[in-house]
Structure 1
Amino acid sequence: MGTNEKATTSISHSSSSATSSRTVTVLRDIVQSPWPLPYIAMVTPLVRSIWNYMEWSNGGEVALSLSHGLLILYFIISQYVRRYE
């Protein structure tokens, strides 16, 4: 191949660790904020109200599934943050 060889780039560990630490910082801010859990609690009735207003069926189930999903995601994020503290 001679002069037409492809140049390969390598990702240094310092840039990936900086990205990882930035991610942990953002997630830590989310977990330590007083707003995520009340926000999850407020979203559930709002979704149910919108669903009922639009006269779609299963609004309660959708709202409950959404709140459970958000709570599970919050728990996973909090465990991830604790792991890196």
Structure 2
Amino acid sequence: MALRFGYDDGGALRLSHSGAFGLGAATTVTLLPGERLGIVALKADDVCTGGTFTYRTQGENAVGLSGVTFHVDSGKAASVTVEHLDANELGTFTR
């Protein structure tokens, strides 16, 4: 995954990545470390139930079906776990 580095109009660091268009999905991730803010947008023809988005991985790192689970606390997403990145407990991203 290639991460783009840049700065917004106010000079704040912005990290972003978009992709998976050729796989039938559209994903984008934007991180603003100074604001402690991350935004993830997923759009695909796969399944989303109960806070878990299930998709079929593809490409050289494919592992079959995997999931992205959003953990909610007090009505806000507190963290998100990307299942196939979590084998070494590195796939959970916390607010």
**Alignment TM class, shorter chain as reference:** under 0.3
Give the structure with the higher percent helix.
1
Larger radius of gyration: 1
With the length of structure 1 as denominator, give the TM-score of the two structures. 0.24
Where relative contact order (Cα < 8 A, 6+ residues apart) is larger, the structure is 1
Give the structure with the higher percent strand.
2
With the length of structure 2 as denominator, give the TM-score of the two structures. 0.23
